[in-house]
Structure 1
């Protein structure tokens, strides 16, 4: 788990330290910022809606405690929804730039894979298509969370794990696509190094909650995982 978190930090450092990677980052930052601002409004609405469903009515002595707990758990659930939406839509929107980012990491190590010949829209649609099956898996975790809706801590734990698992699929998408990995191969990779990817995606999830820093998460993940897979293949 700690190795996965350390790899993400390494990817973030390389993204900011190397000029050829920063030049790609600035191209996609504006689009990611617009998407992030739009989703932020939706997150605040969802926090208020879910919290009001969970807050009990009455004047019992424990009402204030339960109220604060409901707001906290509603915040976690709503923010995770925003994170999942941001990563899925953001990864698709900037897919061509992410592919360029991965290629430059490979070039630096002398292990460049074949260049993608697909057009801009094809790469975007391919990224969206790769999100479908992981999204179905996330919906199953969401369904399990709904079964425990009136036990907020359990519902939150299930939703958080499902969200981190989904993000693992999303963050590995660009380097996996460059290697022509299908869904089964990606799932096998994530299962074989489960704790590594939980640490990687878990730290990414936390950083996605930090304004402006969240704009760096997707490209940093691509840099880190591209480097990781190249090193392992060598």
Structure 2
């Protein structure tokens, strides 16, 4: 897990160190900010909704402490859900820039680069379609969390783990697409490097909750994974 977190930090560092990568980052920031602003509003609406369902009623001295604890769990759950939506939609919206970002990173890393000639809209649709099967898996984790809905700590833990697993699929999408990895190939590699990708996606999930820095998470993840995935691209 530590190696995965360090790989993400290395990608973030490289993103700001190299001018050719920073140039692409500036291009996509406006669109990413728009998605982040809209989904943040939705996330905080979700906090109020969950808190109203979960916060207990009573006059005992410990109810106030319990209410604060439940409110924090509701906040965490809403923020993670908002982060998932942001990564899914944001990655698709800036997919062409992410593809170019991955190509430039591969050149910096000394890898052979297969230039992509797909039109802008096709890359966007490809990114969205690659999210469908992981989203089905996330729904299963969501179903498991609902079974423990009235036990907020358990529901939050299950949903958080499912979201981190989903983020692993989402963040690897651009490098995987450039290597023609299908869903089975991606799943195999994620399972083989389970702890690496949990550390990578786990740190990304935490940084998605940090204002301003969260705008750099998607491009930093692409840079980080494009640097460490050394497998030759398939024809």
TM-score by length of 1: 0.97
Aligned to 2:54: 54
Name the counterpart of 1:11. 11
Task: For residue 92 of structure 1, report the CA deviation from its aligned partner.
Answer: 0.2
Residues 1:68 and 2:68 are matched in the alignment: yes
Q: Quick one: distance in 2 between partners of 1:149 and 1:106?
A: 44
CA positional deviation for 1:65: 1.7
- Counterpart residue number, 1:138: 138
* Paired residues of 2:112 and 2:232 also in contact (CA < 8 A): no
Show the counterpart of 1:202: 202
Superposed displacement of residue 113, structure 1:
2.7
Deviation at 1:52, TM superposition (A): 0.7
Aligned to 2:122: 122
- Measured on the aligned residues, the alpha-carbon RMSD in Å equals 1.1
Deviation digits for residues 101-157 of structure 1 (CA, Å, limit 9, x no counterpart): 000011223323321111000000000000000001011001000000011110000
C-alpha distance in structure 1 between counterparts of 2:175 and 2:140, whole Å: 26
* Residue 46 of structure 2 corresponds to residue 43 of structure 1: no
Q: What are the Cα deviations for residues 138-184 of structure 1, in whole angstroms up to 9, with x where unaligned?
A: 11001000000011110000000000000000000000000000000
Name 1:97's counterpart in structure 2: 97
Q: Deviation of residue 189 (structure 1)?
A: 0.6
Distance in 2, matches of 1:110 and 1:7, equals 17
Q: Give per-residue Cα distances to partners, 1:6-27, cap 9 Å, x unaligned.
A: 0000000000000000001000
- Whether the aligned pair in 2 keeps the contact of 1:99 and 1:174 (CA below 8 Å) is yes
The residue that corresponds to 1:189 in the other structure is 189
Rounded Cα–Cα distance in structure 1 between residues aligned with 2:8 and 2:110: 21
Q: Does 1:85 align with 2:85?
A: yes
Contact 2:3–2:196 under 8 Å retained in 1: yes
